[in-house]
Amino acid sequence: MANIVAIVGRPNVGKSTFFNRLTESRKAIVDESAGVTRDRHYGKAEWIGRTFSVIDTGGYVVGSDDIFEKEIRKQVDLAIDEANIILFVVDVADGLTDLDKEVANMLRKSGKKIFLVANKVDSSARIHDVNEFYALGLGDPFGISGMSGSGTGELLDAMVEVFEPEDLDEPDVPRLAIIGQPNVGKSSLLNTLIGEERSIVTPMAGTTRDTIYKRYIVSVSISC
Ligand SMILES: Nc1nc2c(ncn2[C@@H]2O[C@H](COP(=O)(O)OP(=O)(O)OP(=O)(O)O)[C@@H](O)[C@H]2O)c(=O)[nH]1
Ligand SMILES: [Mg+2]
């Protein structure tokens, strides 16, 4: 079985920064304003010879009527369904928030293996700040800095211990890109082709921000 790790948490805690570190890329947009990531998106990562898929998700907000926040929530739910491991990211600079508690409750119901990741532990002075997150009842928090990478080795070691046995490598497949002017229907076309709500669709131009990557199989039958 494939190991799929979803990075989940409220807005602006550093999910995309950590995604980029794990995947050794700059694929996910990182910004100091909240609500930057919208669609969920995928990368490949490797630790001590074990490869796994990582899904970056948008910031989870509970009980909001904002069109994007509602759509992001749907995308996070889909990522949780797909993943077998959840990295629940919280922020030591902000401390424990009510929204963290609500996200923790939602994740607990998923029944998935959860690692609590206390991000923004940029210096040793900050390491004791992780202790308040024990209150979430999700076990030991892993103090990391997604920005510098400190603490990530211990977290990855613990993740690898619960990995499923690995799949054999898949063969190379053709890659297709859907390109066009804003609001012409690119996201709707992608969702129709793969038969799921992979990409957020709204009537507003410029809804999709990150590049969306999806592996899917199309069967073609030709009759003469
Ligand atoms: N000090 C510090 N800042 C960080 C760290 N990781 C991320 N940040 C900053 O936190 C801000 C938010 O980072 P993102 O990675 O975009 O956060 P996100 O959780 O993906 O945000 P949304 O997609 O909007 O939910 C940015 O200004 C980052 O530079 C860290 O380890 N330490
Ligand atoms: Mg993000």
All structural domains of the chain with their residue ranges? 4-161
Q: Is residue 163's pLDDT more than 80?
A: yes
- Closest residue CA from atom 14 of ligand 1: 14
Residue 129 confidence (pLDDT): 95
- Closest residue CA from atom 32 of ligand 1: 120
Q: Is residue 221's pLDDT more than 60?
A: no
**Residues 76, 81, 85, 88: is their CA dihedral positive or negative?**
positive
- Closest residue CA from atom 10 of ligand 1: 14
Please state the atom number of ligand 1 nearest to the C-alpha of residue 19: 15
Please state the atom number of ligand 1 nearest to the C-alpha of residue 119: 31
Terminal Cα-to-Cα distance of the chain (whole angstroms): 39
Task: Tell which wins on pLDDT, 65 or 37.
Answer: 65
Residue 78 confidence (pLDDT): 87
Q: Is residue 150's pLDDT more than 80?
A: yes
Q: Is residue 146's pLDDT more than 60?
A: yes
Pocket of ligand 1 (CB under 6 A): 11-17, 30-32, 34-37, 58-59, 119-120, 122, 145-147
Residue 29 confidence (pLDDT): 76
What is the overall mean pLDDT for the chain? 84
The domain 4-161 belongs to what CATH superfamily? P-loop containing nucleotide triphosphate hydrolases (3.40.50.300)
Q: Is residue 30's pLDDT more than 90?
A: no
**pLDDT confidence tier of residue 27, bands split at 50, 70 and 90:** confident
d(CA 66, CA 153): 37
Q: Is residue 222's pLDDT more than 50?
A: no
β-pairing verdict for 142-143 and 50-56: unpaired
CA–centroid distance, residue 22 to ligand 2 (Å): 14
Of 57, 102, 99, residue with least CA distance to 212: 57
Residue 192 confidence (pLDDT): 82
Please state the atom number of ligand 1 nearest to the C-alpha of residue 145: 31
β-pairing verdict for 41-47 and 50-56: antiparallel
**pLDDT confidence tier of residue 64, bands split at 50, 70 and 90:** confident
d(CA 79, CA 54): 10
State which of 12, 69, 127 you would mutate to test the pocket of ligand 1, scoring each by most atoms of that ligand within 8 A of its C-beta.
12
CA–centroid distance, residue 13 to ligand 2 (Å): 8
State which of 10, 13, 16, 17 you would mutate to test the pocket of ligand 1, scoring each by most atoms of that ligand within 8 A of its C-beta.
17
Of 59, 74, 69, 81, residue with least CA distance to 14: 59
Rounded to two decimals, what is the model's pTM?
0.80
d(CA 43, CA 181): 26
CA–centroid distance, residue 209 to ligand 2 (Å): 11
Residue 181 confidence (pLDDT): 85
Q: Which of 60-64, 89-93, 184-188, 201-205 has the lowest mean pLDDT?
A: 201-205
Of 39, 20, 43, residue with least CA distance to 30: 20
Please state the atom number of ligand 1 nearest to the C-alpha of residue 36: 24
